[in-house]
Amino acid sequence: MDSIFKPKFFSLLKAGISKKQITSDILAGIVVGVVALPLAIAFAVASGVSPEKGLITAVIAGFIISLLGGSRVQIGGPTGAFIIIVYGIVEKYGIDGLIISSVLAGIILVLFGVLRLGTLLKYFPHPLIVGFTSGIAVVIFSTQVRDALGLQIEKIPSDFIDKWHLYFTHLNEINLIAVGITAATIFITVFSKKLKTKIPGSFFAIIFSTLLVNIADLPVTSIESFFGEIPNKFSFEIPAFNLSELHIYILPAITIALLGGIESLLSAVVSDGMISGNHRSNTELIAQGIANIITPFFGGIPATGAIARTATNVKNGGRTPIAGMIHAIVLLLIMLFFGKWAKLIPMSCLAGILIVVAYNMSEWRTFRSILQNSFFDVIVLLSS
């Protein structure tokens, strides 16, 4: 087990980390924490759960993944890839079913690491991964149409065709103010990248739209009107389940484990290229597993390595797991002391942020180029 599970953090501590690097990691962690705030809330809301569950996941899972993981710079937390899976599990089995599925997925991930499957998971066909993420992007976009247009629909069907049929039947209810906020959020998020600033456009968009809506008392749905208060505390909960029904959660758990394992290792590989480093894939899987075993009991949702936040960490000078732990602490402080203001965020603003996330996930240029490849690649792409 010693040769399989070797967290990078403790190896780096043993070798010694300079004060300059620690300072750099702390600053990078603060920036990543700010970047992760709107995404953690938005991913939770889009998954059909309350917003604090996204923050709890980023705090607890994010800290564990950095502390015990096999990457120097991996940032863990909720990601867009899990939205559809979590939404489906909650709709079918409820929150208790999500907790059980997530814990089982964590156990499976630990087993993947112990069995040294980390090296195998990295070799999934590229067209399969592109097709899968592109499909997820389309579905994420479809879940945000209601809030982006300000439609007064209480329950959104899980079926893709049913969703769009319902949207078209409610087009006469479009709230132009909500549409304006969505458009402004997309504009600020996209074009802020041209500015030389470390603070993400999504953060500016949230501040701007929240102030505008509340000062002008605009008639749009907010997190508070949709979910109520955002709790500023953690609570330990044990799900109610019958051992005889445990088998029904195996398939959702395997889905979460495979997706989480693949995404975390892909993120680790990408970050390796950015820092000329070498991650420990089996250690990473075990850490992801431990995070997904512990986090659900505190109200969290499935977590994995997040490519965009990991890249943000690297670009801002993060080079050790300290940055990831600081990012989790920053989010914890925000949740404890600023949650009462986070509830005022307009749902249409979160929709705008997720539409940008969906576009970035779509990889449409890669999708198009694969369509021009071999017949086998095209089949794998479209079948995923």
Average pLDDT, the chain: 87
**Residue 39: per-residue pLDDT:** 85
C-alpha to C-alpha distance for 271 and 55, rounded to whole angstroms: 23
Higher pLDDT, 48 or 176: 176
C-alpha to C-alpha distance for 96 and 104, rounded to whole angstroms: 12
3-state helix, strand, coil in the chain (%, to 5): 75, 0, 25
66, 69, 74, 77 alpha-carbon torsion, rounded to 10°: -60
What is the token pair recorded at 255?
Answer: 């889905």
Residue pair 49/296 in contact by the 8 Å Cβ criterion: no
- Residue 167: Cβ-neighbour burial (10 angstroms; 0-12, 13-18, 19+): middle
Task: Say whether pLDDT at 12 is over 90.
Answer: yes
Task: Say whether pLDDT at 147 is over 80.
Answer: yes
> CA 295, 310, 267, 379 torsion: positive or negative?
positive
The pLDDT of 352-358, averaged and rounded, is 84
197: left (phi over 0), alpha (psi -120 to 50) or beta: beta
48: left (phi over 0), alpha (psi -120 to 50) or beta: left
Task: Say whether pLDDT at 281 is over 90.
Answer: yes
Task: Say whether pLDDT at 384 is over 90.
Answer: no
Cβ-Cβ contacts under 8 Å for 13 (sequence gap 6 or more)? none
> CA 272, 276, 278, 279 torsion: positive or negative?
negative
Could you tell me which of 129, 86, 148 has the C-alpha nearest to residue 352? 148
306, 307, 311, 317 alpha-carbon torsion, rounded to 10°: 30
* Global pTM value: 0.81
Residue pair 120/309 in contact by the 8 Å Cβ criterion: no
What ranges do the domains of the chain cover? 19-156+246-336+359-383
Cα 63 to its chain centre, rounded Å, is: 14
> CA 207, 134, 146, 102 torsion: positive or negative?
negative
Q: What is the pLDDT of residues 245-264, one digit of tens each?
A: 889 999 999 999 999 998 89
**Residue 196: per-residue pLDDT:** 64
> CA 80, 183, 147, 340 torsion: positive or negative?
positive
C-alpha to C-alpha distance for 134 and 381, rounded to whole angstroms: 10
**Residue 66: per-residue pLDDT:** 98
Residue pair 45/228 in contact by the 8 Å Cβ criterion: no
Q: What is the pLDDT of residues 63-122, one digit of tens each?
A: 999 999 999 999 999 998 898 899 999 999 999 999 999 999 999 999 999 999 887 766
Residue pair 298/235 in contact by the 8 Å Cβ criterion: yes
Higher pLDDT, 237 or 294: 294
Burial string for 184-222 (b: 16+ CB within 10 Å, else e) reads: bbbebbbebeeeeeeebbbbbbbbbbbebbeeeebebbb
Instruction: Specify the DSSP element, H or E, that contains 304.
Output: strand 304-305
**Residue 370: per-residue pLDDT:** 62
Q: What is the pLDDT of residues 179-227, one digit of tens each?
A: 999 999 999 988 887 776 667 788 888 899 999 999 999 999 988 887 7
